[in-house]
Every structure is written in structure tokens, then in C-alpha cells.
Amino acid sequence: MAFSFFSLVTGLYVLHSSIALLLLNKEVPITRGMLYPRESETREVHSLDGIWNFVRSDPDNPTQGIRDKWFEKDLSKSQPTIPMPVPASYNDITTDNLRDHVGTVWYDRRFFVPRSWRTDQRVWLRFGSVHYEAYVWVNGKRVVKHEMGHLPFEAEVTDVLMYGSENRITVMCDNALIQTSVPQGKITEVPNDNGMTIVQSYTFDFFNYAGIHRSVHLYTTPKTLIEEVKVTTNLKNQNADGEVSYSVSVKGSVVNEADNDLHIQANLYDKEGLLVANATSDGKLEGELQVAEVKPWWPYLMHPDPGYLYQLEIKLLAANEELLDVYRLKVGLRTLSWDQTQFLINGKSVYFRGFGRHEDSDIRGKGLDNALMVRDFNLLKWIGANAYRTSHYPYSEESMQFADEHGIMIIDECPSVDTENFSQELLGKHKSSLEQLIHRDRNHPSVVMWSIANEPRTGSLTADSYFSLVANFTRSLDKTRPITAAIATPYTKDQAGRHLDIISFNRYNAWYTNTGRLDMVTQNVIDEAVAWNKAYQKPVIMSEYGADTLEGLHIQPAYVWSEEFQMEVFSRHFKAFDELRKKGWFIGEFVWNFADFKTAQSYTRVGGNKKGVFTRARQPKAVAHLLRKRYFALGRDLDQCNIPEDIFIYIAEWKS
């Protein structure tokens, strides 16, 4: 009996291991180009944002538009269209059930291309993001296909455009998530009152908004252009001097680089526009700039002048010094380092005080909204946060630039959430999502860490080999930043932590476990953080904690869903965090969530997830005032920041 039980266990182990061994580290496509579109003396940028025409396909016939070639003429000639704003999610725009549509939708619009663009240059079409899969035609010709929401893609359209006349762009977007998409979902056919219907399900806890989520641009470049710019920075002599290393790749050069034909002139300007360093690369497309008396990039509240950015001007010159192309980008000079107990920026130990967030709002869904973005940063600064995680997908490029400017540190997360059923195909897509993310965001000083997944199911041996491959791949692309993942698997079962540099864990004490038991928070948080640290000997962050709270619901003594309860839950965590901070390896606290957000329909969600410190309309709940006091108190104690005058309102004179 004992023997057969043993063989069964061994058999299962071997089976698991062999599944693990099946995962091979195959190559993934590498992104080229995709610099954020910026105007310069050699480049023009036109926006295609606005109202587009829109058609939803029959969910039972999602490929009809391809078969019937809807892209060959105006959509309105094939189907009745409705107006649809771009950028925006399409889900909450209409009053019918477009919200729950599964499958493909179509967009089109016409646009003019000026005659002057016909000259000796290239034209590119660039999407900030389309969720989830996009097929794009210009004047009926397919120009690009892209899979993966929240990440940009582009195509050269020089030869398909009609200059000095009207053109048409058509986009087919598919929101279907399956077991090999990132994130994963399931499509099933279920019976309804009229027969059968197709439904999309997913385990992650945010609404699967879809559509053209970010701006669409047409931009021009010279024929020989700066295709890539990669920047790394360093500080020396106790942060007195700085170094900017740049490497550029060029597209379309007639003669190759080895012939010393092309060279780069790099100029670095400070905030006042004064030239502080310059260099001309000698037949190479890379070089270093030395910056004396540097102003390092510091996080918000860690320095009186946070988010200091220089402007790097890259000029591509021909052998005869003719100016071929110019691209400018902002650069922050800082160093990152980490060890088994701490994470340092510019040599100073960091304690993260931040949020998990979502790109989510009423009506626009996940569509880029500058008003919302600026409001969110104002709230982040008001509350004294110095960081957030882009849970659970890459956020807009505009928000990354804003974080650079304001000194907000970003844990940059790829779109892998609730990752399970590990397969070779999923691994390839997951790695590709990280490749695209790192390619897009590697030059941002605000990005201080990569998060390779949120709450992956890391309890199996397959997870071990899967995350070893994902983590090593990420390191192969960027060694300058540490890697984390937000883990909810108990530390006793987890197989991924050993592959990370920093352990982040999500836990909902007094909410999903021991609901309502405020007396079972503090010690549990301490015990779990200690256990994670003991298991891996790495710095630990609590990356999610919180409680759903209906704004305006007050119940004393505290009771679940009330504002009092949220405040108590936070306060009990604060106590645990202060104990943990004394241990020397606990490096951060991230509330779940910054604001209320929409989810799929469920009886545990009242109009969505209500764990926000702010409402979905970005107004504070009572807990926001409490959190503000803590974040500023931490800022004062750890980083000697100033406390805003209005933080303590006058009550009475305290007699000590």
C-alpha cells in the first residue's frame, strides 16, 4: 500500500517535471522603431483622433467583414455605422448591449494627406494601443496586424497613401481572450432564451474594455532616419557628476555604418535650455555625455526638486555634415541598485508608498484621457505617494512621460494577469509582451522595476520552469532594473519567488480571509511578510491590501463595506508595516486601489470594484485623508520632506 502510494506520488512528480521540460525558450519577435511620435525640424506629426465610423460584427459571424472585404470601401457601404470616439473604449458609449459584445468590431475614417508629404520622406501610421488584436488597412491594403492590448504598434505607409487627396483607414479589432492570449480568457457557447450565444469569461478582476484605446498618429520621417534611441545613465563622485550613454540605430542608410558615413551629434540641455554636454560620435552611432554638477532625477518627496529632466537632442548627420534627422527626448539621470535587503535610488534607500491602479473611468473606459491623467497625478501628489504599479498592463506613454516629470516611481507591469495553464504558446506571447514593454519604456527614469505578472498560479512545477524562462528573458533585455511579480499563492507553495529580485505579495486580510475580523490583520501581515523574506532572502513589498468601500456608507463600529471599516483595515496594516520596516528588508506598501473601477458583472461587485481610496469620479473617500497623513509622515521621517500646511486641521490646543 505504502509502496503504491509512493509510486503514485513519484509518477505525478515525473509527469509534472516532464510537462515543465516541454517549455522551451524559443525566440520571440523583436520590436523595431516605435519612438514616441514627436515633431522636430525633420518630422511632422498629425493626429487621427476624433470621431470614427463604427460597426460591430455579428458575434456568430466574426470574420464576415474579412470575407466580404469591408476594408475595400467605406464601412457605411457594407453596414450601417454609428459614430465612435477615438481614443476610447467602445463599450460604454452606446445605450445598448455593445458593452458585452464579444468578437470583432470595425472602425474607419477618411483623412487628408498633404501634397507636401509626397517629397523624399517616409510616412508612418502609429497606434498607441488597440485592445486586444488589431488588423489595419489603408486604402484597402493591409498594412499591419498586432496582437496585445496596451502596447503601441506602427507601420510604414509611404507607398499606400494618396498624396494631396483623401485616404481611408480601416481597423478591425477583436476583443476575444483565449487561453493563449495575454491576459487569458475563455470563449464559450451557452444556451440563452433564443438558442445559443457566445460569452467571454475571464478570472481577472477588471472589465475587458476594448477598442482603439490610445491616440492614432500619422508622422513623417526622412528616408534615412533615427529608428531607435537607447539611453542609460550613471552618477559618479557621490552624485556630483553624471553620464548619459546613448546608442542609436538608423534605418534606410544607403551606405552602412562601418563606412563612417553617418554620425551622431548628441546635445544635452538642462531645464533652462542651456547646453550642458555634447559629443559627436566618430563613425559610430553611440557615445557618452559627461555632465558636471549634475542634477539627478529624484522621486517625489525624496528631494526638493524631484523629476529633474534634461533634454537629449540626437542629430543624425551625413558624412558631409548634412542634417538628416533630429529626435529629442527627455532624460533623467539616476542610478538603481538592489541587494538582499534594500532597493536604492542614487545610492539612497527607497521606501515605496504607493498604489495599484487602473486605467479606468466612466464612459471612456480605458481610453486615454488627458484630463483624467492630470487629475490622477494631482491626487497622487496631494496624498504624498511616491510610486504606483501599472496593474495589470502597460499604461499610456503619455502617463509614463508624466511620471518622469513628476518623479513618481513606476513598477511597470506587463499584461499577464492570473496566468495559468502554462503552455509554449502562452510563454511566447508573455515574453513578447515583456519585450514590447521594455522596448517602449526602457528610457523612462520613472520605471524602476519590471513586474512580470500579477497573481500567476505559481503553485506547480510547471510554474517554476515557466517563470524561470520569463524572468531570465526579462533580465536578458534589461539588467538595469530589478524584477518582481505580485504573488498571491501562499509562500509554502510558490515556485516563482526564487526567480525574482524583489518579492511582492497581495493579501486581503479581514476581507477575503477572516472577513470583518479587524483583530486578525496586523499579526497576519507581519507573519506572512516575514515568511516570504525567510523563504527567499529578498526585499519584500506588500503590493496589494484593501477593502471594498461604498462611499458615504458609515457604520460605527466598523462593518464591512463602510468607510470606517476601510480606515480601520488601513490603520491595522500601517501598524504591521511599521513593525516590518524595523526588520530592514521591508521596502514598500501599495494600497489596492487608487480609485474604484469597473469589473465584469458579479454578485461580489456593486457597479465594480470599490476598493478605491478615491471614487471613480476621483473624489476622496474618508480613508484618503488618513492615508495622506501616513504617506507624508513617512516622507518626513524617511526623506525629510515638508508637510503640507493643510494636513492637520485645527481642532484644539493640545496640552501635553
Under the rule (CB under 6 A), what is the footprint of ligand GCB?
205, 392, 454-455, 488, 506, 544, 592, 609, 611
CB 151 within 8 A of CB 36: no
Q: Note the Cα 260 to chain centre separation in Å.
A: 39
Q: Could you tell me the smallest distance in angstroms from the CB atom of residue 221 to ligand GCB? A: 39
Nine-digit cell at 162?
494618396
The smaller minimum CB distance to ligand GCB, of residues 117 and 206, is found at 206
Q: Could you tell me the smallest distance in angstroms from the CB atom of residue 486 to ligand GCB? A: 6
Q: In the 3-class helix/strand/coil scheme, how is 224-271 assigned residue by residue? A: CEEEEEEEEEEEECCCCEEEEEEEEEEECCCCCHHHCCCEEEEEEECC
As a 3-state breakdown, the chain gives helix, strand, coil percent values, each rounded to 5, of 25, 30, 45
Q: Could you tell me the smallest distance in angstroms from the CB atom of residue 416 to ligand GCB? A: 12
The smaller minimum CB distance to ligand GCB, of residues 550 and 638, is found at 550
The smaller minimum CB distance to ligand GCB, of residues 4 and 604, is found at 604
The smaller minimum CB distance to ligand GCB, of residues 49 and 548, is found at 548
| Structure-derived torsion over alpha carbons of residues 141, 142, 143, 145, reported in degrees to the nearest 10 | 170
Q: Could you tell me the smallest distance in angstroms from the CB atom of residue 548 to ligand GCB? A: 7
Q: Could you tell me the smallest distance in angstroms from the CB atom of residue 413 to ligand GCB? A: 10
CB 314 within 8 A of CB 264: yes
Nine-digit cell at 35?
519612438
CB 211 within 8 A of CB 202: no
Give the residues across from 55 on adjacent strands: 106
Helix (H) or strand (E) holding 532: helix 522-536
Q: Could you tell me the smallest distance in angstroms from the CB atom of residue 152 to ligand GCB? A: 24
Q: Note the Cα 74 to chain centre separation in Å.
A: 34
Q: What are phi and psi of 98, to 5 degrees?
A: -55, -30
Amino acid at 269: Y
Q: Could you tell me the smallest distance in angstroms from the CB atom of residue 542 to ligand GCB? A: 12
The smaller minimum CB distance to ligand GCB, of residues 127 and 206, is found at 206
Query: What is the Cα–Cα distance from 281 to 572, expressed in whole angstroms?
Result: 57
Nine-digit cell at 302?
525624496
Q: Could you tell me the smallest distance in angstroms from the CB atom of residue 477 to ligand GCB? A: 24
Q: Note the Cα 19 to chain centre separation in Å.
A: 31
Q: In the complex, which residue's CB is closest to ligand GCB?
A: 205
| Residue 197, CA distances (Å) to 58, 190, 207 in order | 11, 5, 20
Grid look-up 532597493 returns 343
The smaller minimum CB distance to ligand GCB, of residues 499 and 611, is found at 611
> Is 455 a residue of the active site?
yes
Q: Could you tell me the smallest distance in angstroms from the CB atom of residue 588 to ligand GCB? A: 16
Region at 463 (left for phi over 0; alpha for psi -120 to 50; beta for the rest): alpha
Which member of 455, 544, 563, 568 is catalytic?
455
Q: In the 3-class helix/strand/coil scheme, how is 421-487 assigned residue by residue? A: CCCHHHHHHHHHHHHHHHHHHCCCCCEEEEEEEECCCCCCHHHHHHHHHHHHHHHHHCCCCCEEEEE
- Counting Cβ atoms within 10 Å, is residue 198 exposed (0-12), middle (13-18) or buried (19+)? middle
Query: What is the Cα–Cα distance from 646 to 581, expressed in whole angstroms?
Result: 27
3-state secondary structure (DSSP) of residue 85: strand
The smaller minimum CB distance to ligand GCB, of residues 79 and 504, is found at 504
Query: What is the Cα–Cα distance from 604 to 608, expressed in whole angstroms?
Result: 9
Closest to 618 (Cα-Cα) out of 378, 395, 363, 301: 378
Q: Could you tell me the smallest distance in angstroms from the CB atom of residue 552 to ligand GCB? A: 20
Cα distance between the two ends of the chain = 73
CB 123 within 8 A of CB 156: yes
Q: Could you tell me the smallest distance in angstroms from the CB atom of residue 73 to ligand GCB? A: 42
Nine-digit cell at 308?
529633474
Query: What is the Cα–Cα distance from 376 to 387, expressed in whole angstroms?
Result: 12
The smaller minimum CB distance to ligand GCB, of residues 387 and 488, is found at 488
Query: So which residues are the catalytic ones?
Result: 455
